[in-house]
Structure 1
Amino acid sequence: MSRFDAGRLTRIGTWMQSYLDRDRFAGCSVLIAKGGAEQYFHSCGMRDMAAGLPFERDTVARIYSMTKPVTSVALMMLAERGLFHLDAPVSEFIPAFANMRCLIPDAADISQTEPCAPPTLHQLATHTSGLSYPFNPGLLARAMDGEDLLFKPDQGPLAAMTDRVAALPLAFRPGSRWEYSVGIDVLGRVIEVVSGKTLDQFLTEEILEPLGMHETGFSVPPQAVDRFAALYTPLAGDSFALNAAKTGGDPLRQVDHADKSPFLNASMHSGGGGLVGTIDDYMKFAEMLRTGGQGLLSPKTLAFMMRNHLPGDIASMGPQSFAEQPMEGMGFGIGGAVVLEPGRARSPGSVGDFSWGGMASTFFWIDPVEELSVVFFTQLSPSSSYPARPQLKALVHGALM
C-alpha cells in the first residue's frame, strides 16, 4: 500500500495559493484522509472578500450537485427496504409523468414530439431519463430555461416543481442517451412520496444526523450563519447561464451574498443541488461511502451503486450536456461517476474511483484501491471555469509514494 510523502503534499497548498494569486478563487480548502486517518488539510483565501472574512475549516459552503450522492443514498435506503424496484416507472409515484412524450429525432421545435414510456427510477438516477437542465444545449433545455426550472432554494415546494418538469417533453427516449439532468431532483420527490416525510426530514433523520453531519442542510444551520461563504463567478451574466457565458471585467464578481442568500431559509428541497455544509461534514459522508455504509446501507448495495450502470463510458452515449467531470473513460453509477480507465479520463487515479462535484467548483472522490477520500471546497460558479479537479487529482496521486 502506498503512503503519502509529506513534502509532496505541500505542493497542494502552493497550487491553491496560485488560484488565489490569479484571482481564480476567492478562497478554498482541501481535506484528505487515507485509511480513515486525516493526512492533510489546508485552507486559504477569503470566504467573503468584501467583509474580509477568511475561508476556514468550518466555513459553510454551497455544495450544489454534491447533494446528488446524498439523495442517491436515500433512494437506495428505501430500495433496500423493498419499497420499490429501480425499474419502476416514476409515474407510479408522481402521476404527472404518466403520459410522457419525447422530442422526435432532429426536432426543430419543442412541439415536435411523440409518445414514449415514462422514465424509470434507475434512468433518473443515472441521467439517462431524457430530462435535462436549463444550462444544457438543446430544445428542452431552452424550454426549461424559459420557465426557470432549476430547483433553486427559493423555488419551493418540490411537488409543484416536479409537476412542472413533467409537463414538458423529454429530450429523447429514456435509456437511449446520457444527459445531465434534474432527474435526481425528481427522485427527491419520489423519496417524499414513498417515505411520507419531506426530503429535508428524511435526509436529516436517516443520513445527516446518524453520520454526525450537524452543519449540513438545505438551509444554513442557525449556528453557522456567520460562517456562510459568499458565491463568486468570472462571468458577466448569470453564473448558471452556460449557453450565454461571457467573461466579465471582474473575475471574482460576487453573485450570492452570505447575509442575503436564499440558502438562509430555503423553501425548495433540491435533491439534485440544494445542500450546504462544511468540509468535515462531507468527509463523513465520503468515508461512509468508502467504508461500506456504516449501517446506513449494506456494503453490497454501496458496491452496486458505485459500479458503472451504463453500457460503456458516458462518452459512448452521445451526451450533449454540461457535465461536472470528463466523459471519456468515465462511467456513471447511482448518483456519481466511476473511473473505468484513468488513461482515457486523462487524470491519475484508480479504476473504481467514485466521485462527483458541484456547480460552485466543489469536488470529492473516494479511491477504494488506495483507501483514499478527498474533499475540495471553494465557491466559484460555474465549475467549468478552470481545470481544478484534474489538477488536484494529479497533485494528490503525485504525493503517493
Structure 2
Amino acid sequence: MSAQFEPVWHALREKVESGSVPGMVAGIRHAGTTEYFAAGVRTLGKPEKMGTDTPFRVASLSKPVAGALAASMIADGTLAPDDPADVWLPELAFPRVLTSPDAPLESTVPAVHDITVRHLLTLTHGLGAIFGSTPLAQAMNQSGIAPSAIPPAMTHDEFMHRVGRLPLAHQPGARWSYHTGSDILSVLLARAGRAPLHEILAERITAPLAMLGTGFFGDPAGLPTAYRPGPDGLEVLDAPDGVFSREPAFEGLGGGLVSTVPDYMAFLTALSQDTLVPAEQRRLMTSDQLTATQREGMEGMAGPGVSWGWQIAVDTDGGGPWTAPGGYGWTGGMGTAAYVNPSADFIGVLFTQRAMTGPDENFNYFWEPLAAAL
C-alpha cells in the first residue's frame, strides 16, 4: 500500500482498537489507482479476521444499485421516468392521501397526480419512513412494511398488497420520504423486467462487472456478525447464519443487498466512468432531482447542501472537506458508507458491521483523514 493513505488506515485501526467497531474494510480509488484495507475480526471473541473480500450487509447502499438498475432500463426503453407506476403496480392505482400526515387512516382525499416511476426514483411518491407515532406509522409497522434493517418477510406481491391498502402521507410529488419507495421500485423493476430481481440484477450489473460477492444473501461461512449498540455494549443484530444467509422472500434494493468493498468499488467506478449506464442517464441519476419543497423532507436526515437524484444523495454545495458540488453517495444503516467526488477524482467505500444509531452518526473518522491525504 502507498504511504499516501497510511494516515487513513491508521485512523481505521484506531477505531477498531477502541472497541467501538469489531472490524471494517475500506477502499479508496484515486487517480486511477485503487487500494484496499481490512482490520479487525468478523465476530467478537472469534479469531476469523476481516478480509478485503468479506461480504457485508450494505443496507441502504443497495439504493444506488436500484438507481443504476432503473437507469439501465430507462436507457433501453423498458421504462420511462414519467410512466405511471400502476402500469406495473396496479396496487398503486387511484391512491388516496391523508388530509394531514398525522390524520386518521380514514381521513383521506384523492391523489392529485398518478404515482410515476420518477416519484419512486426520487422517493417523492408520498409514503416512507415516519419519525413519530402517527396512525399511518402504526399501520405500516403492523403490516410489516415499515422501513427496517431487515427486508420485509413477505413476497413482492404480498408487500404491494399491503402497501396498496394504506393511504399516502403526502401527495405524489410533494415531498421526499425515505426508503419505502425504494422497495416499491424493486417490485416495479422485477415486474417490468419480467424476471426475478436477482436475475435482472445479474444480467445488467453484477455479471458484467464480475461482482461475484454481491447478491441478496451471503454464505454464512463468510458473513460477519452484524451488531448494534445496546445499553451494555454491542449486541447481535444478525448472526452469520441469520436473515442474510439465505434466499429472502423479498428481494429488495431498499436495503437487501450483501456485497464486498471491491465489488461496490467496481460498481461506483463503472457508474462514474459511464460504462455501466449511458452518460445521460448517469447524469440524471447523480444530479439534483428535487425541488426546494420536496427537499424539505430530507433536512432531518441529510442536513443542508444535500439533495437526491435517482436513489442516491447528491451534494449541492460541498459542505465537508471531502465533498464537492456534484459529488454523490450515501450511507447504510448497518454501518456502511460510499462517496464519489468527481472533481477530486476519488471514490471512497467503507463497510463495517456496526449499525448506525441514527442519521446524526457519521463516518468522519474515515472521510477526514482521507480528505487530508488528498
Instruction: Identify whether the pair has TM-score above 0.5, normalized to the shorter chain.
Output: yes
| 2:199 matched residue in structure 1 | 201
| 2:246 matched residue in structure 1 | 264
Q: How many equivalent pairs are there?
A: 371
Q: Structure 2 CA distance, aligned partners of 1:202 and 1:180?
A: 24
Q: Structure 1 CA distance, aligned partners of 2:117 and 2:129?
A: 18
| 1:328 matched residue in structure 2 | 304
The 10-residue stretch of structure 1 (29-38 or 254-263) with the greater mean CA deviation from structure 2: 254-263
Change (3 A) 1:313 1:330: farther
| 1:51 matched residue in structure 2 | 46
Task: Give secondary structure in 1 for the equivalent of 2:188.
Answer: helix
Change (3 A) 1:106 1:59: closer
| 1:6 matched residue in structure 2 | 3
Change (3 A) 1:122 1:110: same
Change (3 A) 1:260 1:318: closer
Is residue 2:126 matched to residue 1:130?
yes
What amino acid does structure 1 have at the position aligned with 2:232? Answer: G
Q: Structure 1 CA distance, aligned partners of 2:33 and 2:10?
A: 23
Which of 318, 327, 342 matches 1:353? Answer: 327
Which of 183, 186, 189 matches 1:185? Answer: 183
Please tell me whether the aligned partners of residues 360 and 383 of structure 1 are also in contact (alpha carbons under 8 angstroms). no
Residue 267 of structure 1 and its aligned partner are, at CA, apart by 2.2
Q: Structure 2 CA distance, aligned partners of 1:16 and 1:263?
A: 27
| 1:373 matched residue in structure 2 | 347
| 1:249 matched residue in structure 2 | 232
Is residue 2:78 matched to residue 1:96?
no
Q: Structure 2 CA distance, aligned partners of 1:264 and 1:92?
A: 31
Change (3 A) 1:385 1:331: closer
Deviations 1:106-143 (A, max 9, x none): 64423322111342111111111111136676443332
Structure 2 stretches of 5 or more lacking a match? none
Task: Give secondary structure in 1 for the equivalent of 2:250.
Answer: coil
Change (3 A) 1:385 1:356: closer
Please tell me whether the aligned partners of residues 220 and 245 of structure 2 are also in contact (alpha carbons under 8 angstroms). no
Which of 15, 20, 27 matches 1:19? Answer: 15
| 1:342 matched residue in structure 2 | 318
The 10-residue stretch of structure 1 (380-389 or 349-358) with the greater mean CA deviation from structure 2: 380-389
Q: CA RMSD in A?
A: 2.3
Change (3 A) 1:106 1:354: closer
Please tell me whether the aligned partners of residues 63 and 182 of structure 2 are also in contact (alpha carbons under 8 angstroms). yes
Q: Structure 2 CA distance, aligned partners of 1:78 and 1:136?
A: 36
Residue 192 of structure 1 and its aligned partner are, at CA, apart by 1.4
The 10-residue stretch of structure 1 (265-274 or 128-137) with the greater mean CA deviation from structure 2: 128-137
Deviations 1:74-128 (A, max 9, x none): 1111111223321122112111111211111264423322111342111111111
Change (3 A) 1:313 1:329: farther
Structure 1 stretches of 5 or more lacking a match? 236-247
